[in-house]
Amino acid sequence: MEAWTFPPVVLQAFSPKSTSGGAWGKGGFIYCTGHDKPELYVLKLPERGHTLQYVKTIPTISEGQAFAIDRSIRSKQVLYGITRHDNYVIVSVID
């Protein structure tokens, strides 16, 4: 078993709360969200050490928290997210 920490830039983006969801995606990347911001953070495992490496932030329509990657669609990465204020499920394609 291993454990990793989030890099400071992602911890700052989560503030004042923490992560609310995460999933492994294609290419070994880790996708995660904070609690409220409409952003998806892309990370990868470090070559050395215990801090995940920040790759990029992807703006989203969904508001953090719950999301899922549809693994039944192999040609694209399809993401399902939610909007809490109007109870919509948002379907997005991520690169």
pLDDT per position as a tens digit, 14-24 = 888 888 778 99
* pTM (whole model) above 0.85: yes
What is the end-to-end Cα distance of the chain in Å, rounded?
Answer: 29
pLDDT of residue 16: 85
DSSP the chain: ----B--HHHHHHHTTS---EEEE-GGG-EEEE-SSSSEEEEEE--SSSSBPEEEEEEE-SS-SS-EEEETT--SSEEEEEEETTTTEEEEEEE-
The residue length of the chain stands at 95
Residue 74 reports pLDDT greater than 90: no
- Decide which of 44 and 89 is more confident: 44
Which residues on neighbouring strands pair with residue 53, listed in sequence order? 44
Residue 88: which pLDDT band, with cuts at 50, 70 and 90?
confident
Separation of alpha carbons 73 and 87, rounded Å: 24
